[in-house]
A and B are shown apart, each in its own frame.
Chain A
Amino acid sequence: MTPCPVMVRCRVQASASELHRVRRCVDDAAAAFGFGSTERYEFVFAVNEAVTNAIRHGQPFSDGTIGVWIEADEDTLICSVSDGGQFEAGAEDRDAWAEGGRGLAAMAQVMDEIELCTSSNGTTIRLHKRRSEATEPDD
């Protein structure tokens, strides 16, 4: 089995001020993968939501960071966001007037598959998005 090429493997401080760096890094990877502009935007949006959730609701690893790992698997780009916390699934707030609680559902809207993995070491969310055949990669 051929290992997936890893495009990005980084640790970022679990701080909101790091979000813009993550977006830039993810956008570069999405462009290199060949996503069209809408797919890139959606991919970056979903990863931003996942990292935001890890910062807001998760726990950083002992060095104060969370992990962001992007790999390509044939026509699918996968981003894994890991933190040291123990995710507990709860019902997202379906009240139209709620100020929060929409992140996970929003990620599911724009990604093809979402995996949520929890272990004693922490929580990882894996976001999968396939490249459209009709996509014309941006320059």
Chain B
Amino acid sequence: MIVPNVLAPNVMGGVVGSFYLSEHTAEGDVHVIRIGGYVDFDVAPQLKKRVVQRIEAGEQSLVIDLSDAGFIDSTAIGVLVGALKRLRESGGALAVVCDNDNVRGIFEVVGLESVIPLHRTREDALAALPAPVA
């Protein structure tokens, strides 16, 4: 039968059940949402709620930092697609930070590596965003 949920490292590069989400404002007043752990169908609603809140609060651009994410599924990537779509409609942009080759590979597998801009570092992501409109 299935093994108990113990917090131990495995191939996914993180620990089981360690999802977290935090927010802060980076240079240029860009809002950064940092996500860690496993980003799947279970936690996608939390991610979507937080992203929608920020967009409705008037954020023009967002950085989603997946530096601590060991796994992402197509459901969570769909949330990012929806966010990018909404931001672009209002002249904004979304940049994703991801240096984990396994996670980057999932974006390719779902066919979105050319739709969602991925950056190895947060600095690169911030630099890729358009200057805020005054």
User: Which A residues are within 8 Å of any B CB, using their own CB?
Assistant: 8, 10, 12, 16-17, 19-25, 27-28, 30-31, 37-38, 40-42, 44-45, 48-49, 52, 55-56, 96-100, 102-103, 105-106, 109-110, 138
B1 within 8 A of A: yes
Using Cβ atoms and an 8 Å threshold, which residues of chain B touch A17?
A: 42
For window 52-76 of B, CB contacts with A under 8 Å fall at 71, 73-75
User: Which B residues are within 8 Å of any A CB, using their own CB?
Assistant: 1-3, 5, 10-12, 16-17, 38, 40-42, 71, 73-75, 77-79, 81-82, 85, 102, 105-106, 109-112, 115
- Is B73 a contact partner of A45 (Cβ separation < 8 A)? yes
Q: Give the interface centre of A10, A102, A109 by most chain B CB atoms within 10 Å.
A: A102
A-B pair number, CB within 8 angstroms: 101
State A52–B12 Cα separation when bound (angstroms). Answer: 18
State A117–B100 Cα separation when bound (angstroms). Answer: 35
* A-B pairs with beta carbons under 8 Å apart, 27 shown: A16-B40, A16-B42, A20-B38, A20-B42, A21-B5, A22-B2, A24-B3, A24-B16, A25-B3, A38-B102, A41-B12, A45-B71, A45-B73, A48-B71, A49-B74, A52-B40, A52-B41, A56-B41, A96-B111, A97-B81, A99-B79, A100-B74, A100-B78, A103-B74, A106-B109, A106-B111, A138-B11
* Nearest CB in chain B: distance from A58 CB, A: 13
State A16–B44 Cα separation when bound (angstroms). Answer: 10
Return the contact of B1 from the options A10, A52, A97, A110 (Cβ within 8 A).
A10
Chain B residue, CB-CB nearest to A97: B85
Return the contact of A28 from the options B3, B40, B71, B112 (Cβ within 8 A).
B3
Using Cβ atoms and an 8 Å threshold, which residues of chain A touch B105?
A: 38, 41-42
- Is B2 a contact partner of A23 (Cβ separation < 8 A)? no
* Nearest CB in chain B: distance from A92 CB, A: 10
- Is A20 a contact partner of B112 (Cβ separation < 8 A)? no
A-B pairs, 5 with minimum CB distance: A16-B42, A99-B78, A99-B82, A25-B2, A52-B41
Using Cβ atoms and an 8 Å threshold, which residues of chain A touch B106?
A: 45, 106
Using Cβ atoms and an 8 Å threshold, which residues of chain B touch A23?
A: 12, 16, 38, 71
Using Cβ atoms and an 8 Å threshold, which residues of chain B touch A31?
A: 11
